[in-house]
Each structure stands twice: as C-alpha cells, then as structure tokens.
Structure 1
Amino acid sequence: MIETHDVLTIGRISVDIYPNEIGVDLEDVTSFGKYLGGSPSNVAVAAARHGRRTAVITRTGEDPFGTYLHRELRKFKVDDRFVSSVPVWPTPVTFCAIKPPDDFPLYFYRTPTAPDLQIAADELDLDAIRGARIFWSTVTGLCQEPSRGAHIAAHEARPRAALTDGQFTVLDLDYRPMFWASEDEARVQVAKILPHVTVAIGNDKECAVAVGEGTPDEQADRLLAAGVEIAVVKLGPDGVMAATRTERVVSAPLPVETVNGLGAGDSFGGAFCHGLLSGWPLQQVLDYANAAGAIVASRLSCADAMPTPEEVKSLLAERGRQVPND
C-alpha cells in the first residue's frame, strides 16, 4: 500500500546563514546562525507544524551541510526519503542582512547550479506524487534542466482533480530574477505548468511574470483562464486576495512588528495547505494563512519560526478575526 502524504513539495533547499545582529549591513556582521532554508522545504516544515504529514523532493551536496539538512528535516517531522545527494555540487548556502522593517537582501550561493536543480525525471516516485493530497512546486524549479523536465513530468503525472475532490496541485510563482535569463523565458516555462495547476500563488511581480501586468483582479482572471481553480494574489500592504470562478475574497493585513519578512510567504503556504485540506471556506483559509505569515515576519528565522495552530488561532482571536474550527 502506497503511503500518502498530505503535502509533498519539490525544489529548493539550502542552509540559511542569518546574522545574529539586527539592522547591520552584511559586511559588518560578526556572528551568524544557520537554519534550514529553501522555499519548498520551508513550506513542508510549515505544514508539518500544523500536524500535516509532509515530505520534500530535493537534493543536497555530499557534505556536512547536506547531513545537517537531513537532520533538520527529521527534527521538523518532514519525511526526507526523497532527499538524495549529488557528488559534484556543494549544498547551497544563502546569506541575508536583516534590516527591518522592509530591507532583507538575499545572497544566493548556488551558481552555476545547485544540487536541487539536479532532480531528474527518472528518479521521481510518481506514485507518491500522484497520491499526495497536495503537491507543491515553485517557478524556480523550472529555471534549469534536469529540474525543469522533472517538474513537468511530476505535474503531468498528477490527476486533474476538482476542488471538491480534496486533492490540489499548487504552484508558487516565486520568480527569482537571478535564476533566469529573462522574464520572457520564465513566462514560457510557467505556461507549460499552469494547465496542470489547481492553485497558483504570487505577488504582483510574480503574477506579472506568469500572466502579464495588470490589476490584481485582472491577473487573477488570467490565471483562472489558464486553468487554475484558485488564484491567490498577494497585495502587499493591502493583504491578500483569493479568487475562484464563483467567489473573490480578501484578507486584510494583520500588522506586526517586522523582524524578518523572508519566511512569511512560506509560513503562509504551509498554513494555506492546512486550511485547504481542512475543508474550510476560502475566507477562513486565507485569514489563517495570512496570520501564519504575519507571525513568522515577527521572528528572526524561517523554518524554526513556523507557528503552531494554537499560535495562529490566538493571533486571529486577538485581532477579531474568525477562528476556524478544527
């Protein structure tokens, strides 16, 4: 019998090297902490915090940092059976400076390639991918071969399920310009994936790369026209919107004192998965995910900072938002 994961993600993993000093330029930082990083891996951690059975498909280097990432995944109760090593390329590291409220420059050490971009189609466990209740990928995984082919094969293997079937394929639009030759190149690759996607999530810039410039409503409409069932458009200081063919809802922001905004989107993603799988109304899913993202923005790290359901519900109640039933 095939073991079914609630949430199975694919793509980037790294060691995040974050300064212990807040508000200091990176060249002046004197001490750092290390954490599990990489957006799809963080989403798996975030979903696990909400009690979901999660796993990640990725690759590391054959080095101590790779050993560390396996250990961290297991610590966070993320299944690491689909994490393999690459003998040639080292495990990536990512540095950032932390200068709240809105300056968090990232420096990716993963050129000319990284182990997680060496995921190949012929090594995928397609039964696990088909069986997962949620399969989550990002646009970054499409930027190079063989990862691009693996992502396309994985999406093609997924059943095309209706929203009522309780199975979802999510694409995080997560466009990172340093990984691409141009926006046009990224748009071509995203167009190949969108017909297989149930949910697409992105901010204004990411949606523009996927489907062109426009208002949030126009971008949501284009994503729906491409075959997506739920289009989630992040509105920056105005919160976040989710649209289906029959409803459109907005979750207003939940202001917090920002310490590090880098993990908020991944926390949002893991909580959004939990809400979808719980069968909550779309407004409640969005509010819950919005609150989870706000909590992580108020903390230093990413994976280690992912909130529990109790913390998310407490913030919702404190701000007068409806608290979903389990």
Structure 2
Amino acid sequence: MDQKADVVVIGRVCIDLYPEQFGVGLEEITSFSKSIGGSATNVAVAAAQLGNSVRLISRVGDDPFGEYAKNEIARLGVDNTGITAVAGMKSVLTFCEVFPPDNFPLYIYREPTAPDMYINGDELPLDLIAKSPIFWATATGLSKEPTQSAHIMAWEKRGRKPNTILDLDYRPMFWKDEDQAHQAVSTALDHVTVTVGNLEECRVAVGETDPDRATEALLDRGVELAIVKMGPEGVMARTRTQRVESKPIPVDVINGLGAGDAFGGALCHALLRGMSLQETLDLANAAGALVATRPQCSLAMPSWDELHEFSVQAHGIPAN
C-alpha cells in the first residue's frame, strides 16, 4: 500500500439525496440527485479536486450504497483504501430541503449509530498519519466509541505535528448532551494545532462566542492557528503573532451546506503551499462562497483553475 498523501482525512461518509425541486418540503419533492457527502468526505474531495493527494479513513455500510460511496470517492480523486464496510450495517443517508438563501434543513438517517462510528484504532495507517503534511479530523468523530479512541490513537502517534487540524463541527444530534461534546473537544485540543469552527462551535469548545476571546482561549490551549467563521461578518484567523480577517463575498446562494467543507479543502491546499495567512483565509473564504452557488456538496467542489479565477475576482489572490 502506498504510504504517501498530502492530506489524510478521518471522518464520516454518507449518501446525499438532495432534492431537484427547491423551495418545497420533503413531502412535496418528487425527485432527488445522489452524491456522496459527510463533512470529512467533502473536505477530502475538495482538497483532491484542487490537485492534492488525499487519503480518506472511514467506514460505510455493507450494502450497495457503501459500494457506491467507495467507488464515487475514488472517482473524485480520493484514495479510498482506508474505507471499509461494517458487516450488517447500512450506509448513512442524508436528505435535505433547499430554501435559499439560508435555510437548508437536514434529515440524517444514522440511527441508532453509523458505520463511521466503528473506525478502529488497530486498522489505522498510523505511519501515514504521522508523516502526512496535513491530518484533518472532525469533532463528530469523538462522539462515540470506538472511533473516539481511534482519533486519540492517531493524534498520539502524530505527536502534535504542525497542520494537525480539528474541525470543531458541533452537531447536537450526534451527542448525548452538550457537556459530552465539550469534554471530548477539550481533550482533543491537547493534540491539535489548527482549529476551524463557527461561533457556536467555539462556545461548545471553549465557552466563548466573541471571536477574539474564543481564538485567544484556543491559542492558550496550545493551538497554533485558530479560525473562526463569523457568519455575515466573514472569517477571522489568529496565530500568536497575527490576526487577519476575510470579508464576506456576496453571492447568490443556492445551497450553503457544502460551503464549510469547501473552505476546509482550500485551507488544506493553502497550508500545503505555504501561502500567507491572509491569502490562506481569503482563498478558503472564496472556496466556500463559490460552492454556495452550486446545488450539491461533493460534486460542487472546484478545480484549482475555477477557484483561482473566482478568488482573483473576489480578493485578488495571487497564483500559487
């Protein structure tokens, strides 16, 4: 097995069944499009579409949807050798309603749990995780065992190497309660060097919703780069020596569900190329805005040429 990857991503996979009719509820929708999804999967695809080598670690159901997911992930440029099926389980299905510009209700069928909650530490490519330039994980992966222990094992092997990224990714449906999420994320903060989250996710992680206080609290925990998505105020990033903001980009939103994952993939791309903090944030912000103008998630992730052209128009990002 080839033990090389620019980015290793661990996390959930699902099958997105998104409506082909917008502005109506599920009870009125008559047809759906099928694509792969799940936050970690979308980030992996986004980074791969920008030209990076990416390995995804996850688990799927032992069913035709699981086979579809593995095949589609490979078709979109991601190494799928880290994806295995869980015997007797069904793959996760995600339906949504689309009410542009800012209402996209999700209905996720992963009860009582999901295959990606059965990622086992003894099956991880630990040497690859340790040496890859970027390792991306999400807080959702900490919500149950055995995947929580697998994440800790991966981080311990990596040893808080630079660009060990945690998407704070708080979704109440995956947790027993908010305190459980806070405790799990607090443990994770001892292992990671980059965090990405919105104001609500920062509140769960460190008890702060003010962007500056939240990033300061994250830096105090040993994080080297803290990124806070501030909604209509744009995005802010802080290190111990820099503070930069990227202003919101006005677009006609079709589906905002994939925007954050596009942000993540572009963030990985920029970090791999050593772009300045301002360029990094602007590029990631542009990726999110661009994908929000498209109807799906994984299939909406742009190529480098598409993103670069859009970024130049939005922020004046130089070629890199």
Task: Report the TM range for the smaller structure's normalisation.
Answer: over 0.9
Give the whole-Å Cα distance in 1 for the aligned partners of 2:243 and 2:76: 34
1:211 aligns with 2:191: no
Alignment match, 2:113: 113
Q: Is the 8 A contact 2:195 2:226 kept in 1?
A: yes
Alignment match, 1:54: 54
SS of alignment partner, residue 27 of structure 1 = helix
Stretches of structure 2 that go unaligned for 5 or more consecutive residues are none
Give the whole-Å Cα distance in 2 for the aligned partners of 1:40 and 1:227: 23
Give the whole-Å Cα distance in 1 for the aligned partners of 2:163 and 2:311: 25
Alignment match, 2:22: 22
Post-superposition Cα deviations, 1:31-88, rounded to whole Å, max 9, x if no partner, equal 0011100110110100001100001000011110011001111111100001011012
Post-superposition Cα deviations, 1:121-171, rounded to whole Å, max 9, x if no partner, equal 11111111112111000000000001111111111111333xxxxx41000
Query: How much does 1:318 deviate?
Result: 2.0
Give the whole-Å Cα distance in 1 for the aligned partners of 2:147 and 2:313: 43
Q: Is the 8 A contact 1:2 1:128 kept in 2?
A: no
Alignment match, 1:324: 318
Alignment match, 1:280: 275
Q: Is the 8 A contact 2:17 2:35 kept in 1?
A: yes
Residue correspondence of structure 1 range 94-243 to structure 2 within 5 A: 94-161=94-161, 167-243=162-238
Give the whole-Å Cα distance in 1 for the aligned partners of 2:304 and 2:130: 27
Using the aligned pairs only, state the percent identity. 53
- The code of the aligned residue for 2:201 comes to E
Give the whole-Å Cα distance in 1 for the aligned partners of 2:232 and 2:80: 36
Give the whole-Å Cα distance in 2 for the aligned partners of 1:313 and 1:48: 15
TM (norm. structure 1) is 0.96
Residue correspondence of structure 1 range 263-278 to structure 2 within 5 A: 263-278=258-273
Alignment match, 1:164: none
Give the whole-Å Cα distance in 1 for the aligned partners of 2:26 and 2:208: 33
1:257 aligns with 2:252: yes
- The code of the aligned residue for 1:70 comes to K
SS of alignment partner, residue 135 of structure 2 = strand
Alignment match, 1:5: 5
TM (norm. structure 2) is 0.98
Q: Is the 8 A contact 2:308 2:319 kept in 1?
A: no
Post-superposition Cα deviations, 1:101-121, rounded to whole Å, max 9, x if no partner, equal 111001110011110000111
Structure 1 runs of 4+ off > 4 angstroms? none
Query: How much does 1:2 deviate?
Result: 6.0
- The code of the aligned residue for 1:75 comes to R
- The code of the aligned residue for 1:292 comes to A
- The code of the aligned residue for 2:218 comes to L
Q: Is the 8 A contact 1:100 1:258 kept in 2?
A: yes
Give the whole-Å Cα distance in 2 for the aligned partners of 1:92 and 1:232: 29
Query: How much does 1:3 deviate?
Result: 2.4
Q: Is the 8 A contact 2:93 2:110 kept in 1?
A: yes
Give the whole-Å Cα distance in 2 for the aligned partners of 1:179 and 1:252: 31
Q: Is the 8 A contact 1:2 1:127 kept in 2?
A: no
Give the whole-Å Cα distance in 2 for the aligned partners of 1:5 and 1:202: 25
Q: Is the 8 A contact 1:284 1:322 kept in 2?
A: no
Compute the RMSD of aligned alpha carbons. Answer: 1.1
Give the whole-Å Cα distance in 2 for the aligned partners of 1:2 and 1:223: 35
